[in-house]
Amino acid sequence: MDIGVPSIRNLFRIKAERAFLWIAIGITSIPLHLLYNSAVYTSLAANDFYIFIVTNNHFEPGAYANTSSSVFPSLEWATPNATMGEEYRNFQLFYSMLEGRNTGNGRYEDLTPSQCAKRYSTDFVSTNRNLFLITSHTSNATHNDTLLDRINYSPGEISYTRWICRDNPVGVSQSGDQCNPNELASRVTKGLPWQMNRTRVGLIEISGCKSERTAERCKVQFSLGIMISVICCNLVKACAMIMTVVRSREPTLVTLGDAIDSFLRIPDPTTMGICFADRRFIDREWRRGWRTGPRQWKQKGVQRWWTSVSKTRWITCNFCSATIMIVTAVLLRLGIQYEGQYLDTDLKSMWSRGFGNVNSISLLNVVLPNIPQLVLLANLPQTILSFLYLTYNSLFTCMLAGHEWSLFSHHHRTLRVTSPRPGQRSTYWLQIPYTYAIPLMTLSGLLHWLTSQSLFLASIEISDPFGREISDPLGSDSLATISGVGYSCIAIIFVLILGIIALLAAAGMGYKRFSAEITTVGCCSAAISAACHAWGADSEEIVGKKVRWGDVGCAPNLGVRHLTFSSEEEIGKPLFGEVYSGIERERE
């Protein structure tokens, strides 16, 4: 059996009740990783808006405005009436601004070109609505209408800022109708003119803006179905833990100290006489019933930490981690290439877009009908990460168990056990020393947080230019909602960097040397048992004192030297080339 680490193989060798509780706790962890952090989620509010280009005297009293102009919007809604309340007032206010009247209304604010470019070069405008771009033109015989043009804008486009690019801004690098709106904002902030080349009016320069202010309406939403699932999973876990505390009274073998204490008190006859046994010897010879006998100690020098971990565990952890990181890197490259069609993809630009921020470009092209399915997709990496972390944590647990085992060959130590008796110490609260446990927990928390910022649920509710609710395409009464799974390239890059550092740290730890020469038992219960056949002293007396593992001299009943635990002061290290005990066993 495996001591001190989670092990599927142990499930087949313990009581059915314990195995059932273990499985219940394990299975209910999967839905928690998939659902827990999305039971409560936020939705952004975005405003649809009209954009008009007007002359510089459009808002002056008495200026001429042809309200029958062809640039007026064709509204899809019925003519508003006074029963509509706030929506009717918004409609009236918009038309008064469109006709150049009521310019003193506090809802509309004057913006400089740089302020205007910054505020409207974002994907989802939540604090402003309808926009008037004021040019340097004056109404005259050529332009006898103060309302010059209307810019088409649709919140359903792939990038909501493409209207800036479609207007052929002068001095901004452009490919077709695509450009980087941030480049325009940067140029205008530096004092360069904001110029457009419109088909209807020709080359114009924006000298200012009037923008309608609105209150933000973001929401914190709650998924009842997800929360019920989370509560049910936690309830099963709580019941399993209570049953474990109430019904499990027998001693446990949780730590290395527990195993040593148990095998010193009740020696295992099946491993008697093979005090030199290590994990590899148990797997290759002892388990198969091959003939064994006294053997020479051929280990020269101390082993490295990685030898206490099985090849299967090393391969599983490194192969799975490497595979996931390669797949993630490939998907990251595809995401950067896709974003590059619309946005800058240098590190500075990606950093400015932030971790976990929603934008219209960085959305996965998947069609799922409801929020719970989107939640499952967004949180799938969390479950994969949890599995990888378990395998990664088991590497450190095995290596640190091997380190603790080697210390018994270096000097006398008290046993660290789950339920200490006089002369023993309690085990670590986190099972491994805090020097390693705290960094590992920090690593886990940081990776989970970065993963949640790399792939996340995105929900945006859009209202019309008058603040009215837009009918949902499916016929519901809610706002038109864009629901999907967003991703952040810069967060994914940090996840990959941290993952690579974690693997390098594990490899570096594995290269460390043990404190002294000793058999490499790892977490193998049979190898630990083989080293715990004491003689010449009462076992109860030994486990209550500081003990050391080493050469205790010649065993009278075996005729050869013996290696075991002892509380005596005179105990030596294993001698290279010396023959130590073993008994012959015929192959079954």
**Mean pLDDT calculated for residue range 403-432:** 84
Question: What pLDDT, on the 0 to 100 scale, is given for residue 156?
Answer: 53
Question: What pLDDT, on the 0 to 100 scale, is given for residue 100?
Answer: 67
Asked whether the beta carbons of 382 and 36 are under 8 A apart, the reply is no
State pLDDT tens for residues 449-499. 999 899 888 888 888 787 776 654 333 344 467 778 889 999 999 999 999
State pLDDT tens for residues 543-553. 888 888 888 87
Q: Domains of the chain: which residue ranges?
A: 43-218, 252-301+517-588, 311-406+425-513
Distance (Å, rounded) from C-alpha 423 to C-alpha 415? 8
Mean pLDDT of the chain: 80
| Structure confidence at residue 221 as a pLDDT band (50, 70, 90) | confident
Distance (Å, rounded) from C-alpha 67 to C-alpha 150? 13
Percent of the chain topping pLDDT 70: 81
pLDDT reading at 142 higher than 60: no
**Mean pLDDT calculated for residue range 430-442:** 85
State pLDDT tens for residues 192-202. 888 887 777 77
**Mean pLDDT calculated for residue range 430-440:** 84
| Structure confidence at residue 80 as a pLDDT band (50, 70, 90) | low
Would you give the distance in Å from CA 5 to the centre of its chain?
A: 24
Question: What pLDDT, on the 0 to 100 scale, is given for residue 238?
Answer: 94
**Mean pLDDT calculated for residue range 292-307:** 80
Phi-psi region of 358 (alpha: psi -120 to 50; beta: other; left: phi over 0): beta
Tokens 């388990």 found at: 287
| Structure confidence at residue 161 as a pLDDT band (50, 70, 90) | low
CA angle 188, 193, 197 (to 5 degrees): 115
Q: What are the two backbone dihedrals, phi and then psi, of residue 266, each rounded to the nearest 5 degrees?
A: -125, 85
What is the value of pTM for the model shown?
A: 0.80
pLDDT reading at 294 higher than 50: yes
CA distances from 508 to 396, 447, 518 (A): 11, 20, 21
Question: What pLDDT, on the 0 to 100 scale, is given for residue 490?
Answer: 92
Question: What pLDDT, on the 0 to 100 scale, is given for residue 585?
Answer: 46
Angle at which helix 371-410 crosses helix 16-35, to 10 degrees, equals 130
CA distances from 318 to 323, 325, 400, 500 (A): 8, 10, 18, 11
Q: Which two tokens stand for residue 39?
A: 């039971």
Distance (Å, rounded) from C-alpha 190 to C-alpha 165? 19
| Structure confidence at residue 97 as a pLDDT band (50, 70, 90) | confident
pLDDT reading at 445 higher than 60: yes
Q: What are the two backbone dihedrals, phi and then psi, of residue 244, each rounded to the nearest 5 degrees?
A: -65, -45
> In the chain, what are the helix, strand and coil shares in percent, each to the nearest 5?
40, 15, 40
> What does the buried/exposed string (b/e) look like for 439-467 if buried means 16 or more CB atoms within 10 Å of the residue's CB?
ebeebbeebbebbbbbbbbbbbbbbbbbb
